[in-house]
Structures are given as structure tokens and as C-alpha cells.
């Protein structure tokens, strides 16, 4: 039986009369776009090009800039998939925020910001304990969203409640500003996770706090865009606008994020699993059987699986997206709104699956802003095989943080 709050939220959001429109159409703000983007030729005259980046090949009919690559604005704009002018403007401000965070986490001058402050009160509602880098990253993103003029409300893992920004702006942004910040001292990759929804206009008459919360508690099935940023040897934005997943790499010579991994397709099955298996003896019997089986090559895929675990959600997922397999945290540790929904949208758009071990992530209606759940992301065949073992959600937690 559903609780009263579940019934209320589901009735308000999931069964709303509002039909999400995509792509959204709003007036263009040319001051926020690259001049060369404004002078693009029409899509009917676009030239073909072929460039390569590492092990990936880009064959695009989109008009490219002089070095053969497309920027996010060019890809998303009228010369590309045309997601709507307001969303292009929003992404230009998000790009700026991500570049600032990338510089922040890489700067030796700010290395002390990643260290745990001694004796401070734990005021963060995020997965990691509060660290200055988390706070600074959160402020950077909030500032960029305010300046964009396109965001009505922002909900962050670092805040207890959503922040209402503008009454008439079209979008809602949910974010984990700096995932894995506990790894900064060891120079392990970190990341940012984000999701974008349309504002629920039929809630506009409600009090600010109430409409901010309900806008932030939309089901993942209503996402219009989502992605993650990997801060590592390269800074990469992997994003989807609902028509495939694509990765853009920061070109430090120009300051642009350029398309390097178009139409990412996760392999149907991988040979890698990613989990902290030091917790093996706390796992349920079904998950232990699954891991034992694939490690011995006795599963549906007749090869022995290898373990790869960074303890950085974005980094572990990015590797899984590239090579296949499954990345998981079997206990109710990760947040549905800020992490599970956006990442599941990216994975599904790449042909993979996101699950809590029993249910499709994007079908779960959030009832709390910081609602936690187990998370399994990866290749469709691997996720289906894992779910077939039944008992894969860890309920025992002796008190560890990660």
C-alpha cells in the first residue's frame, strides 16, 4: 500500500496533465552563443566530415569548425539536433561551471580544499562529508544557473532543500556538484552529475517551497537532458538530450568541449564488474552467487570476469559505458534524484540499463529529495543476468561510509 506522501506526489507529478514538450522552443539569446554558431549554414547544406579521437571514429553530417570538431553548442543548436535555444543557452552556462570546477580540482593552490576539515558540524546532506570543494562547486553551479536566466529551481545533493531561482524560467536542474571529493588528495578522478527537467507550470500557483520541492521530485522518465562530467586525465562531458548519448572532451587550446565520442553504444555484455567486493560477506546470497559465477566464467558469458573498482561513481560508470559490464553499489547508498536518475538516463540512451536490482530506475517515483537506493548500471545482458539472481540488494550495513 502506498504511503500518503507517495500517493500525493504521484498524483501531483506522475499523473500531471502537463505533457512534457521536447525540444522546448524559446526565443534565442544570441549574446550567449558563439558568433560562428549564429552564422551556421542551414542543415540542408551541411558538409560531411570524419575525424578520429583515440579508439573512436566520428562520422558526422554536421557542419564542423575549422579543426574538424563540433562543440556542444553547435551540436545541440539549429545546425545540429536542435534541442531548442533555451537549452543551448543553459548548456553554455553549465559548460562554464564545469570548466571552473575542472580548474578548481586540478589546482595545487586549492589542494587543501579537498581535505576534511577538523571538528566541523556535518551540515551536508550529500553522500560525502562536507568539504570546502563540495561547497565551492555547488556555489559555482548555482551562480551559473542564476546567470543563465533559464532555470527556475536547482536541487543539489549539497543542500537540504531546493533553491528557487526564477518564476518564469523553463527548466529544473538537479545535481551532485562534486561526486567523489573524498578522493581529491589521492588525485583519483572526480565528477559532476546533472539532470534537467521542464518546469511544471501547473504548480506555479503553489507556495515557493512546495513548488520547488515538487518540481525537483519529478520521475526520471521526465528528464529532457542529463549527463556527467569526468575530471580526470581529460575533462569529459557525457550527455544525452534524449536521442543517444554523446561525449565531449575539453580542448584546453580553445576552451571548447568538442564532440569526441558520438552515439556511444555500450556493449551488450562486458567482461568487467565494478563493486567494492571487500563487502562480500555483507552481501545477500543472490549477489554473492552472481559474483562467484561470473568470476569463474560459469555465467551466461563463458569467460571469467575481471574486477575494476575506482570508488568514484562517475569514473567507474564511464569505464563501464566504454567497455561494457556492470557498475554497482548494492546497498541503499546512492541518491535517486541526483545520481541514479541522471546516470540511468545516460546509460539507457547508450543502449544499457539502470536498475535497483529489481526495478527500472527511471520508473521509480521519488518521494523524498535525498531518497537513497541500490544502483546497478551497465550492459543490458549483464543487468538482466544479475537481476535473475533475485536477492541482490544489500540490507546489512555495519556502519561503513562507502
Among 350, 402, 359, 339, smallest CA distance to 378 is for 350
Residue positions annotated with a catalytic role: 128, 134, 157-158, 176, 178-179, 339
The four Cα atoms 385, 389, 395, 401 give a dihedral, to 10 degrees, of -30
DSSP designation for 369: T
Q: Give the Cα-Cα-Cα angle 154, 155, 157 (nearest 5 degrees).
A: 140
DSSP string, 181-239: GGGGGGT--EEEEEEEEE--GGGTTS-HHHHHHHHHT--GGG-SEEEEEEESSSEEEEE
Contact in structure between 40 and 74 (CB atoms under 8 Å): yes
* Residue appearing with cell numbers 536566466: 149
What would the 3-class secondary structure string for 86-105 be?
HHHHHHHHHHHHHHHHHHHH
* Residues 120 and 130 sit within 8 Å (Cβ to Cβ): yes
Phi and psi angles of residue 303, each rounded to the nearest 5 degrees, phi first: -135, 150
How many DSSP H helices and E strands does the chain contain? Answer: 10, 15
Residue 152 burial (C-beta neighbours within 10 Å; 0-12, 13-18, 19+)? buried
The C-alpha angle with vertex 180 and arms to 395 and 233, in degrees rounded to 5, equals 135
- What order of strands is seen across the sheet that includes strand 235-240? 163-164, 151-156, 171-179, 190-198, 225-231, 235-240, 245-251, 256-264
Radius of gyration for the alpha carbons in the chain, expressed in angstroms and rounded: 21
Cell triple for 329:
553499489
Q: Per this entry, what is the length of the chain?
A: 402
Q: Which ranges of 107-197 would DSSP assign to H, the alpha helix?
A: 132-148
Q: Give dist(CA 329, CA 283) in Å, integer.
A: 11
Contact assessment for residue 147 and residue 198, using Cβ atoms and an 8 Å cutoff: no
Amino acid at each position: 500500500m502506498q504511503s500518503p506522501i507517495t500517493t500525493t506526489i504521484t498524483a501531483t507529478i506522475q499523473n500531471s496533465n502537463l505533457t512534457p514538450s521536447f525540444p522546448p522552443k524559446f526565443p534565442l539569446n544570441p549574446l550567449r552563443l558563439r558568433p560562428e554558431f549564429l552564422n551556421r549554414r542551414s542543415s540542408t547544406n551541411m558538409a560531411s566530415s570524419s575525424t578520429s579521437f583515440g579508439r573512436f571514429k566520428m562520422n558526422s553530417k554536421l557542419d564542423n569548425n575549422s579543426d574538424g570538431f563540433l562543440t556542444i553548442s553547435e551540436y545541440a543548436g539549429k545546425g545540429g539536433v536542435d534541442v531548442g535555444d533555451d537549452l543551448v543557452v543553459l548548456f553554455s552556462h553549465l559548460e562554464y561551471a564545469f570548466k571552473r570546477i575542472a580548474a578548481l580540482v586540478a589546482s595545487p593552490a586549492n589542494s587543501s580544499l579537498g581535505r576534511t576539515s577538523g571538528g566541523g558540524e556535518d551540515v551536508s546532506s550529500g553522500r560525502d562529508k562536507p568539504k570546502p570543494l563540495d561547497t565551492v562547486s555547488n556555489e559555482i553551479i548555482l551562480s551559473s544557473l542564476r546567470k543563465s536566466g533559464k532555470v527556475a529551481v536547482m536541487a543539489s545533493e549539497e543542500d537540504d532543500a531546493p533553491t528557487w531561482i526564477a518564476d518564469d524560467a523553463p527548466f529544473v536542474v538537479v545535481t551532485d556538484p562534486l561526486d567523489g571529493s573524498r578522493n581529491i588528495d589521492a588525485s583519483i578522478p572526480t565528477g559532476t552529475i546533472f539532470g534537467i527537467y521542464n518546469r511544471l507550470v501547473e504548480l506555479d500557483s503553489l507556495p515557493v517551497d512546495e513548488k520547488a520541492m515538487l518540481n525537483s521530485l519529478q520521475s526520471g522518465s521526465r528528464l529532457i537532458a542529463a549527463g556527467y562530467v569526468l575530471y580526470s586525465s581529460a575533462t569529459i562531458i557525457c550527455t544525452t538530450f534524449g536521442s543517444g548519448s554523446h561525449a565531449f572532451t575539453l580542448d584546453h587550446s580553445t576552451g571548447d568541449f568538442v564532440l569526441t565520442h558520438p552515439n556511444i553504444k555500450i556493449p551488450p555484455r562486458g567482461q568487467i564488474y565494478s563493486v567494492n567486493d571487500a563487502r562480500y560477506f555483507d552481501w545477500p546470497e543472490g549477489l554473492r552467487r552472481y559474483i562467484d559465477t561470473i568470476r569463474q566464467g560459469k555465467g551466461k558469458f563463458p569467460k571469467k570476469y575481471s574486477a575494476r573498482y575506482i570508488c568514484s561513481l562517475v569514473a567507474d560508470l564511464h569505464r563501464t559505458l566504454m567497455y561494457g559490464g556492470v557498475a554497482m553499489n548494492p546497498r541503499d547508498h546512492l541518491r535517486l534524484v541526483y545520481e541514479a536518475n541522471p546516470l540511468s538516463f545516460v546509460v539507457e540512451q547508450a543502449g544499457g540499463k539502470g536498475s535497483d536490482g529489481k526495478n527500472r530506475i527511471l520508473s521509480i517515483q521519488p518521494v523524498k529529495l535525498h531518497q537513497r537506493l541500490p544502483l546497478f548500471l551497465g550492459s543490458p545482458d549483464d543487468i538482466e543476468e544479475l537481476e535473475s539472481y533475485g536477492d541482490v540488494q544489500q540490507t546489512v550495513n555495519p556502519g561503513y561510509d562507502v
